[in-house]
């Protein structure tokens, strides 16, 4: 059970954190572009002041996006059933409970959340395409390290954006896989993010190799 105000709060924080993360991933793509394509100018371009401004802009963008979502939901009249077909409150499920024609609201929601996800995703794909082309044509040394950095970021981007685009960039009809996608980008993806990024860390790789060697040695000793 959740109250109406609690449901609105859940929608706000879900979209605030989600949109902020999307903007941050887009900024990270620009950071990777500067680091890989213009390494000598990296410290000059990505200075501390610019980093603070970019992070602040990401949080502001997430706040504006989430306020827009809540503002569109809060004006809807609810006079019928009050059970959501999901594990948490989100805009597509809440809109279905409104006792009015919600076509215009759905279009506004799709143009907000759906286009936001799609545009950020396309910008990210374009930025990494530029990085890969630059690596292929200009740089030979350090390609493997740069590709490893990009690969982990692209993996996280795909895990976040693909479910969001599927959920929000379409009319709000129910599909059997909606709950699976919802769990994926709210639970599974945040759990995988630390693992994906830490596996790139040299110390983590060394520790994993030592652990695997100890495990193999202990197994061999037990069999012997």
Tokens 């997430």 -> residue: 62
The DSSP code for 213 is H
Give whole-number Cα distances, 166 to 59, 124, 158, 161, in Å.
Answer: 24, 17, 12, 9
* Range of the structural domain that residue 149 is part of: 4-223
pTM: predicted TM-score of the whole model, two decimal places: 0.77
Distance of CA 101 to the CA centre of its chain: 31
Distance (Å, whole) CA 44 – CA 141: 22
DSSP line for 87-135: SS--HHHHHTT-SS--HHHHHHHIIIIIHHHHHHHHHHHHHHHHHHHHH
Long-range contacts for 104-107 (Cβ within 8 Å, ≥24 apart)?
105/72, 105/76, 106/171, 106/172
Residue 200 · residue 149 · CB < 8 Å: yes
Average pLDDT over residues 60-83: 87
Joined together, the tokens standing for residue 22 give 């999307």
Express as a percent the part of the chain with pLDDT over 90. 11
In this prediction, residue 57 has a pLDDT band, given cuts at 50, 70 and 90, of very high
Residue 95 region by backbone torsions, left for phi larger than 0, else alpha for psi between -120 and 50, else beta: alpha
Q: What tens digit of pLDDT does each residue of 104-161 get?
A: 888 888 888 888 888 888 888 888 888 877 777 665 555 565 666 677 777 778 888 8
> HSE on the CB side for 43, CA within 13 Å?
1
> HSE on the CB side for 22, CA within 13 Å?
31
The CATH number assigned to the domain holding 109 equals: 1.20.1070.10
Joined together, the tokens standing for residue 126 give 């374009």
Residue 91 · residue 11 · CB < 8 Å: yes
Q: What tens digit of pLDDT does each residue of 127-137 get?
A: 888 887 777 76
Domain count of the fold of the chain: 1
């Amino acid at each position: 059970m959740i109250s109406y105000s609690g449901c609105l709060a859940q929608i706000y924080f879900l979209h605030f954190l989600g949109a902020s993360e999307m903007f941050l991933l887009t900024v990270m793509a620009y950071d990777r572009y500067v680091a890989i394509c213009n390494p000598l100018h990296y410290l000059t371009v990505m200075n501390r002041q610019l980093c603070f401004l970019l992070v602040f802009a990401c949080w502001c963008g997430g706040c504006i996006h989430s306020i827009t979502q809540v503002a569109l939901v809060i004006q809807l009249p609810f006079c019928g059933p009050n059970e959501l077909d999901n594990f948490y409150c989100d805009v597509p499920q809440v809109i279905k409970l409104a006792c009015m024609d919600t076509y215009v609201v759905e279009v506004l929601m799709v143009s907000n959340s759906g286009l936001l996800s799609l545009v950020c995703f396309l910008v990210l794909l374009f930025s990494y395409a530029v990085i890969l082309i630059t690596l292929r044509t200009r740089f030979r040394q350090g390609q493997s390290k740069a590709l490893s950095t990009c690969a982990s970021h692209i993996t996280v981007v795909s895990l976040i954006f693909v479910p969001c685009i599927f959920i929000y960039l379409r009319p709000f009809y129910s599909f059997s896989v909606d709950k699976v996608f919802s769990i994926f980008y709210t639970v599974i993806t945040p759990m995988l993010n630390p693992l994906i990024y830490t596996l790139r860390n040299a110390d983590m790789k060394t520790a994993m190799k030592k652990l695997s060697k100890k495990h193999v040695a202990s197994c061999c000793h037990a069999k012997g």
